[in-house]
Amino acid sequence: MSASLYALLDVRERGVYESLADGPVRAQYLTAHALLRSVLGAALERDPAGLVFAAGPYGKPYLTDAPVEFSISHSGELVAVALSADAPVGVDVERITAPARLPLPVLSAQERTVFDRVPQSERAAAFTSYWVRKEAVLKATGEGLRVDPARLTVSAPDRPAELLAWRGRDGGQPHPPVRLYDLYAGDGYRGAVALLGADRRIVRHDGGGVLRRPRRSVG
């Protein structure tokens, strides 16, 4: 199947793929970008190999000739793609790991107060919940890690996902406002989706069969 997935990539993507020395990382990159192209191709009824991407001012990718909004994330054995017809979207999935030292400076003061009360055995999962929520928001706005994540305050891990405050922004939120949702990513993972604007209904699909479907060229 890898040959058929490779055929979907453009010249730049193939260059990145070939530059990756680690086998699992190469496989993850190939799966993620082939899945993104397949999902977008199906949504737009277009040949996924013919889609042309460009990057926004902060590096967020977009299609040069279609208004659909999308975001991609991968971690461990998971790949997530989020699509929206009319609202900027960001998605993040992360595998829960327990490094020797968590990068706690990315938490705001309010988040840190809550986090310090979390039992030691639950801290890796709690931190990952904070991280995916922040990352999803920053992907939706297109700013990514050019913004210090500590400026954002999101709800506690045991509460429904919500952006509570954004230090330095008028009104504490971007405009239009951010809608933040938890994404069930399976045991050992955490995930979140953020959209800008009005409240939306999130529909989750298992994309496992997308890459196995026969693809047709359009035109």
Total structural domains within the chain: 2
pLDDT in tens, 127-165: 999 999 999 999 999 888 889 999 999 999 999 999 999
DSSP for 132-174, please give it: HHHHHHHHHHT-GGGS-GGGEEE--TTS---EEEETTSGGGS-
- Say whether both 88 and 176 belong to one domain: yes
DSSP for 83-146, please give it: EESSS-EEEEEEE----SS--GGGS-HHHHHHHTTS-GGGHHHHHHHHHHHHHHHHHHHT-GGG
- Say whether both 27 and 74 belong to one domain: no
- Say whether both 80 and 122 belong to one domain: yes
pLDDT at residue 215 tops 70:
no
- Say whether both 92 and 27 belong to one domain: no
Cβ neighbors of 38 (< 8 A, separation 6 or more) are 8, 48, 210, 211, 213, 215
Q: pLDDT: is 188 or 202 the higher one?
A: 188
Max CA distance (Å), the chain: 59
- Say whether both 46 and 75 belong to one domain: no
Question: Is the residue at 118 inside a domain?
Answer: yes
pLDDT at residue 137, as a whole number: 95
Q: What is the mean pLDDT of the chain?
A: 89
Question: Is the residue at 6 inside a domain?
Answer: yes
Half-sphere exposure at residue 26, Cβ-oriented, CA atoms within 13 angstroms: 12
Question: Is the residue at 104 inside a domain?
Answer: yes
How many beta carbons lie within 10 A of that of residue 100, not counting itself? 4
- CA of 90: how far to CAs of 24, 72, 97, in Å? 24, 8, 22
CATH number at residue 82: 3.90.470.20
- Say whether both 14 and 116 belong to one domain: no
- Say whether both 39 and 146 belong to one domain: no
Question: Is the residue at 203 inside a domain?
Answer: no
Question: Is the residue at 207 inside a domain?
Answer: no
Domain containing 95 equals 68-197
- Say whether both 26 and 131 belong to one domain: no
Question: Is the residue at 202 inside a domain?
Answer: no
pLDDT in tens, 34-68: 999 999 999 999 999 999 999 888 888 899 998 89
- Say whether both 78 and 27 belong to one domain: no
Question: Is the residue at 73 inside a domain?
Answer: yes
Given a contact cutoff of 8 angstroms between Cβ atoms, the answer to whether 141 and 180 are in contact is no
Strands 163-166 and 152-154: antiparallel
Question: Is the residue at 206 inside a domain?
Answer: no
pLDDT in tens, 9-40: 999 999 999 999 888 899 999 999 999 999 99
Burial label for 52, CB within 10 Å (0-12, 13-18, 19+), is: exposed
- Say whether both 151 and 95 belong to one domain: yes
Query: Residue 189: what are its φ and ψ, rounded to 5°?
Result: -135, 160
In angstroms, the CA 193 to CA 132 distance is: 8
- Say whether both 86 and 193 belong to one domain: yes
- Say whether both 109 and 151 belong to one domain: yes
